[in-house]
Amino acid sequence: QARELSGIQDVRWPDEYDALLEALVPSASMVFVEANQHPRCTCPVETRNARMTKELKEKFPDAVLKNVYEIMADMRQIKKPEEIKALKKACDITNEGFRELLRFIRPGVGEWQIEGFLANEFISRGPRKFSFLPIIASGKDTCVLHYIQNDKRCEDGDLVLMDIGTEYGNYNSDMTRTVPVNGKFTPRQRAVYESVLNMMTYAKKILKPGILKSEYERLVRVFAAGELVKLGLITPAQVAEKPSDPPIVRKYYMHGCSHFLGLDVHDVGGRFEDEKPILLQAGMCTTVEPGLYIAAAPDIPAHFHNIGVRIEDDLVVTATGADNLSEALPRDATGLENWVRGLQ
């Protein structure tokens, strides 16, 4: 049965493992082992793979060991149709749960209640968990990138930013929407929201095979500068100081636009800011998540204070551009308002 399911013809019982190593390792030119080298990985407890590697070194001190992580990481970057199907299913479940959630949001609802509502929606559809700790940030905390306390009530007139996702078959979705708690954006909130949506539209347009990741990120920052000028938050003179990549942009947009997605939420393959040049290729799956965060500060007009907006979709790069796996998730301002107000 194992051969039929896996296609692997040489299948052994676990109790043969030690004897098999004794027979094979001494004559092997190299033994491949696996250790997670992802830059965000921390392992305070010794892993099973680490124990196995240590035992190999003790039993076979002359064996040449090579970590297979880099090889597997390269393989994982290009998704197969079955993997894309699983990612799409995770996105669909997130979309279904989010649509139900929009009718639940109202002034006075607790951020923790939103988290609980989503947990019920996701688990009832099959997944057992969120793909990461959900960010349910309202009011001034929309300007906190990784706010996970989720412990206060959403107030009338505030925005609530929800960075959420679930998994399907171990593949993860990662999507963000920012909505008005009372179902109506203020003029300033809508202006910022539309600017972020413009950034997203532009980023999706240039997300194509062959573009260098670092160049993609730079172009999004340059575009963001134009939006910030239109909002009146920065001046053309500030942009002109370094028009190829205005540093002033990072005051309001301090993170990258995209990261790889797959078996991990921040999947292997490097980040767009890494020194190693990485070209986008067909089959890669990535997020697109621009944002603007305007915290209260003396040099910022008061009517913009505490407005944080992020919008995030999950895309797969194709031969000519990119397909949006989360296209069904509402993102236009009026549509979100209507969902929250129960008009859609």
pLDDT of 208-224, one tens digit each? 999 999 999 999 999 99
Return the pLDDT at 268: 84
Of 133, 138, 139, whose CA–CA distance to 118 is shortest? Answer: 133
Cα separation, 70 vs 130, in Å, equals 27
Return the pLDDT at 273: 41
Cα separation, 341 vs 102, in Å, equals 8
pLDDT of 108-163, one tens digit each? 999 999 999 999 999 999 998 999 999 999 999 999 999 999 999 999 999 999 99
Average pLDDT of the chain is 93
What is the average pLDDT across 16-41?
89
Return the pLDDT at 69: 87
- 16, two tokens: 């043969």
Return the pLDDT at 344: 67
Return the pLDDT at 229: 97
Name the percent of the chain lying above pLDDT 90: 84
Band the pLDDT of 302: cuts 50, 70, 90. confident
Number of H helices, E strands in the chain: 10, 12
Return the pLDDT at 148: 96
What is the average pLDDT across 173-192?
96
User: Any idea what the Cα angle at residue 209 is, between residues 208 and 215, rounded to 5°?
Assistant: 70
Return the pLDDT at 272: 40
The pTM of this model reads 0.89
Q: Please, are residues 221 and 242 in contact by the beta-carbon 8 Å criterion?
A: no
What is the average pLDDT across 173-194?
97
pLDDT of 256-285, one tens digit each? 999 999 999 998 875 444 556 889 999 999
* Helix, strand, coil share of the chain (percent; to 5): 40, 15, 45
pLDDT of 64-107, one tens digit each? 999 998 888 888 999 999 999 999 999 999 999 999 999 999 99
